[in-house]
């Protein structure tokens, strides 16, 4: 499963069975969430009109970079979101308070960290089902607003990004990062022995 995970930018338009999608999104229960705060939120999007609106908001920069349409072609979009307040609510509970009775100071916004862990679990579950995935995360305020309107997240849920998934199209044209060499393991991993 792990070796099968990779990002793709080309999909066949074949639909994905709903039972398969249910098995994939069940990973939301397996994903870490600090203090078991359960702040993850997902929206599974198969409706063509909503996928079209998402593609209209986000696909053009990829087309400008030489990719074939892929956001609009993916038969499934999964919006990955996180509700930060779920973490604060959990860490205001008596068993999580600091000795002085205050909430933990968050040195890292674990809600975003956990969102990335959920994304990886979704990708691995999709690979296990024979599907391929891609991901895009908006950075432009207008794009974020358009995506949020299309997806329908409540105001208190932050959008991490959108996972595209489906069956990979063979020979999808476009730029590739596969020609880039992996850094040596020694540059990425240090050992404290």
pLDDT in tens, 99-111: 999 999 999 999 9
> How sure is the predictor about 5, in pLDDT bands with cuts at 50, 70 and 90?
low
Q: Is the pLDDT of residue 2 over 90?
A: no
DSSP state of 11: B
> How sure is the predictor about 171, in pLDDT bands with cuts at 50, 70 and 90?
low
Q: Report yes or no: 50 and 75 within 8 Å, Cβ to Cβ.
A: no
Q: How far apart are CA 73 and CA 81, in angstroms?
A: 22
Q: How far apart are CA 40 and CA 38, in angstroms?
A: 6
Q: What is the mean pLDDT of residues 107-121?
A: 95
Phi, psi (rounded to 5 degrees) for 162: -125, 125
> How sure is the predictor about 164, in pLDDT bands with cuts at 50, 70 and 90?
very high
Q: Provide the angle, in degrees to the nearest 10, between the axes of the packed helices 18-25 and 110-128.
A: 140
> How sure is the predictor about 181, in pLDDT bands with cuts at 50, 70 and 90?
confident
**Domains plus CATH for the chain?**
2-188 (3.40.109.10)
Please identify which residue in the block is written with the tokens 């990955």: 80
What pLDDT digit, counting tens, does each position of 30-75 carry?
Answer: 999 999 999 999 999 999 999 999 999 999 999 999 999 999 999 9
Rounded to two decimals, the pTM is 0.91
> How sure is the predictor about 180, in pLDDT bands with cuts at 50, 70 and 90?
confident
Q: What is the mean pLDDT of residues 15-42?
A: 97
Range 87-90, long-range pairs (CB < 8 A, 24+ positions): 87/33, 87/34, 87/35, 87/37, 87/39, 87/111, 89/37, 90/34, 90/35, 90/36, 90/37, 90/38
Q: How far is CA 157 from the centre of its chain?
A: 14
């Amino acid at each position: 499963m792990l070796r099968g995970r990779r990002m793709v930018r080309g999909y066949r338009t074949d639909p994905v069975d709903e039972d398969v999608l249910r098995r994939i999104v069940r990973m939301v229960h397996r994903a870490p969430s600090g203090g078991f705060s359960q702040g993850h939120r997902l929206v599974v999007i198969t409706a063509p009109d909503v996928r079209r609106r998402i593609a209209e908001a986000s696909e053009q920069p990829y087309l400008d970079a030489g990719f074939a349409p892929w956001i609009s072609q993916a038969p499934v979009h999964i919006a990955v979101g996180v509700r930060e307040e779920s973490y604060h609510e959990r860490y205001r509970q008596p068993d999580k308070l600091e000795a002085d009775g205050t909430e933990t100071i968050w040195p890292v916004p674990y809600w975003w960290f956990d969102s990335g862990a959920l994304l990886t679990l979704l990708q691995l579950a999709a690979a296990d089902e024979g599907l391929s995935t891609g991901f895009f995360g908006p950075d432009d305020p207008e794009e974020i607003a358009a995506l949020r309107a299309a997806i329908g997240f409540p105001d208190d849920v932050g959008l991490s990004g959108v996972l595209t998934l489906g069956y990979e199209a063979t020979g999808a044209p476009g730029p590739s990062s596969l020609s880039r060499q992996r850094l040596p393991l020694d540059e990425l991993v240090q050992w404290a022995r």
